[in-house]
Amino acid sequence: MNGLLHTVVAPLGPVALLLLMGVAFAETGLLVGFLLPADTVLVTAGVLIAAGALQLPVWLSLTALSLAAACGGQLAYLVGRRLSRGLTQGKESRLISPQRLELARSLFDRHGAKAVVLSRFVPLARTLTPVLAGVAGMDRRRFLLHNVAGATAWAAVMFGGGYWLGALPAVSRHLDLILLCIAGASILPGLATLLRTRRASAPSA
Between the CA of residue 145 and those of 86, 138, 140, 159, what are the distances in Å?
A: 26, 12, 9, 21
Spatial distance between the Cα atoms of 19 and 130, rounded to a whole number of angstroms:
22
Give domain status of residue 86, yes or no: yes
Cβ burial of 159 (10 Å; 0-12, 13-18, 19+) is buried
Residue-wise DSSP of 23-56 = HHHHHHHTS-TTT--HHHHHHHHHHHHHHTSS--
Number of other residues whose CB lies within 10 A of the CB of residue 91: 9
Give domain status of residue 196, yes or no: no
One-letter amino acid identity for 2? Answer: N
Give domain status of residue 197, yes or no: no
Q: How confident is the model at residue 75 (pLDDT cuts 50, 70, 90)?
A: very high
Give domain status of residue 108, yes or no: yes
Give domain status of residue 153, yes or no: yes
Give domain status of residue 5, yes or no: no
Spatial distance between the Cα atoms of 14 and 54, rounded to a whole number of angstroms:
9
Give domain status of residue 2, yes or no: no
Spatial distance between the Cα atoms of 85 and 104, rounded to a whole number of angstroms:
15
Q: Which of 6, 20, 25 is nearest to 179 (CA)?
A: 6
Q: Is the pLDDT of residue 164 over 70?
A: yes
* 77-86, 135-144, 172-181, range with greatest mean pLDDT: 135-144
CB 34 within 8 Å of CB 156: no
Number of other residues whose CB lies within 10 A of the CB of residue 31: 17
Q: Could you tell me the residue range of the domain that residue 91 belongs to?
A: 13-187
Tell me the percentage of the chain whose pLDDT exceeds 70.
Answer: 62
Give domain status of residue 75, yes or no: yes
Q: Is the pLDDT of residue 203 over 60?
A: no
On average, the pLDDT of the chain sits at 75
Q: What is the dihedral of CA 45, 48, 53, 56, to 10 degrees?
A: 50
- Number of structural domains, the chain? 1
Least confident of 48-52, 86-90, 166-170: 86-90
Region at 90 (left for phi over 0; alpha for psi -120 to 50; beta for the rest): left
